[in-house]
Amino acid sequence: MSAPSTVLVTGGAGFIGSHACVELLDHGYEVIVVDNYSNSSSQVFARVERIAGRFVGAVYDLDIRDRHALSAVFDRHTVDAVLHFAGLKSVPASLRAPVAYYDVNVGGTTALLGAMHEHGVRQLVYSSSCSVYGEAGSGPLSEATPARPAHPYAASKWTCEQILADVCRRCPEYTVLCLRCFNPAGAHPSGLLGEDPQGTPDNLMPYLAQVAVGRHPRLKVFGGDYPTRDGTAVRDYLHVMDTVDAHRVALDHLADAPGMHVFNLGLGRGSSVLDMVAEYSRACGRPVPYEVTARRPGDVAELVADASAVDRAWGWRPTRDLADMCRDSWRFQQLNPLGYAGSARGQKP
């Protein structure tokens, strides 16, 4: 089987999805998107198309759980493979609303699988999460580390992985490449595309960016008493451009072997929250104000990838570091202080 040429991107208006659209268009793919804009904006596609110099094939405003609407998309387009990003991703929101997280993340994935199955589409790249490792412990986490989800968001991603693995065991014609992303961060180097969630960001880098641009007085550092070198939590941040490069490379490997194959995507290096504050301060040229507060419920001390398996399997490794992530995030934030909505009100990027 040859590499797919038409790719359905679920959640293609979101942070990773929008960068993935650019990556796919840049590499000659036809791109179809479904998204309900619950955490994004349709304005992003003008930017995607401006960067890529090509049009997205079609964009559908639909809920991933709406199996009939999804089926109509597969009726209209011959889809070769799916990149599945649509879902909810906030740890604190998942503690407040666990049912919604299972509904969207698990229900959305089974609805997608149903529509794929009905239309003979058997190739999926699933964007999973390092959060499935949860309380697994410190040190680099290989794909063989048993999952220990610490909150409903992580449990919903782990449940999806188990469903996908079971489908692959029972239906040998399926290939699922499950990419456990660590912490994607940064922005497209053009400054046109970045992370612009609805409401106040829960994730560290977009919040830090909004502090740096003056939208919030200071960053709250959640927890200064973790068993880490400076007491703040450690994560493995991966440039969003590396993240989507790996997803695009995954498409080339869908034909390698059927079944489910799981890979970590990370730098393999941990950075603390204070490391991130220091690097962002360098990027924006002034100290970013912060205060250390209580730990955030659901957070774990450290999540760092053993990122060697994807290198062994595909010869893929990231090429950008934390300084690149902070520089590109800051460029986007400076050019779009109010995000995409700001530009709609007349601020040109």
- Which does residue 37 touch among ligand WQD, ligand NAD, none (CB within 5 to 8 A, set by kind)? ligand NAD
Q: How far apart are CA 268 and CA 316, in angstroms?
A: 13
Amino acid (one-letter) located at 183: N
Burial (0-12, 13-18, 19+ Cβ within 10 Å), 199: exposed
**252 or 299, CB closer to ligand WQD?**
299
Between the alpha carbon of residue 206 and those of residues 21, 47, 196, 267, 290, the distances in Å are 20, 19, 8, 19, 14
126 binds ligand WQD (CB under 6 A): no
* Contact in structure between 88 and 39 (CB atoms under 8 Å): yes
Binding-residue pattern over the window 73 to 92 for ligand WQD, x denoting contact by CB under 6 A? ----------------x-x-
- Which does residue 186 touch among ligand NAD, ligand WQD, none (CB within 5 to 8 A, set by kind)? none
State which of residues 39, 94, 131, 271 lies at the interface with ligand WQD (CB under 6 A). 131
**Phi, psi of 57, rounded to the nearest 5 degrees:** -60, -45
**89 or 247, CB closer to ligand WQD?**
89
- Which does residue 325 touch among ligand NAD, ligand WQD, none (CB within 5 to 8 A, set by kind)? none
Residues 302-341 that bind ligand WQD (CB under 6 A): none
Residue 232 CB, nearest approach to ligand NAD (Å): 18
State which of residues 102, 158, 207, 340 lies at the interface with ligand WQD (CB under 6 A). 207
Place of tokens 């590109």: 328
Q: In terms of Cα–Cα distance, which of 105, 308, 91 is closest to 202?
A: 91
Residues in the chain: 349
Torsion angle of the four alpha carbons 88, 89, 95, 97, in this order, in degrees rounded to the nearest 10: -10
Q: How far apart are the first and last CA of the chain?
A: 42
202 binds ligand WQD (CB under 6 A): yes
**52 or 100, CB closer to ligand WQD?**
100
Q: How far apart are CA 273 and CA 246, in angstroms?
A: 25
Is 207 an active-site residue? no
Residue 198 CB, nearest approach to ligand NAD (Å): 8
**222 or 340, CB closer to ligand WQD?**
222
- Choose, from 101, 153, 226, 290, the residue flagged as catalytic: 153
At residue 205, the 3 state secondary structure works out as helix
What is the distance, to the nearest Å, from the Cα of residue 260 to the centroid of all Cα atoms in its chain?
19
**1 or 344, CB closer to ligand NAD?**
344
- Which does residue 93 touch among ligand WQD, ligand NAD, none (CB within 5 to 8 A, set by kind)? none
204 binds ligand WQD (CB under 6 A): yes
133 binds ligand WQD (CB under 6 A): no
130 binds ligand WQD (CB under 6 A): yes
State which of residues 299, 314, 338, 342 lies at the interface with ligand WQD (CB under 6 A). 299
Place of tokens 């070198």: 229
Amino acid (one-letter) located at 251: L
Residues that bind ligand WQD (CB under 6 A): 89, 91, 129-131, 183, 202-204, 207, 219-222, 233, 235, 273, 296, 299
Which residues carry out catalysis?
153
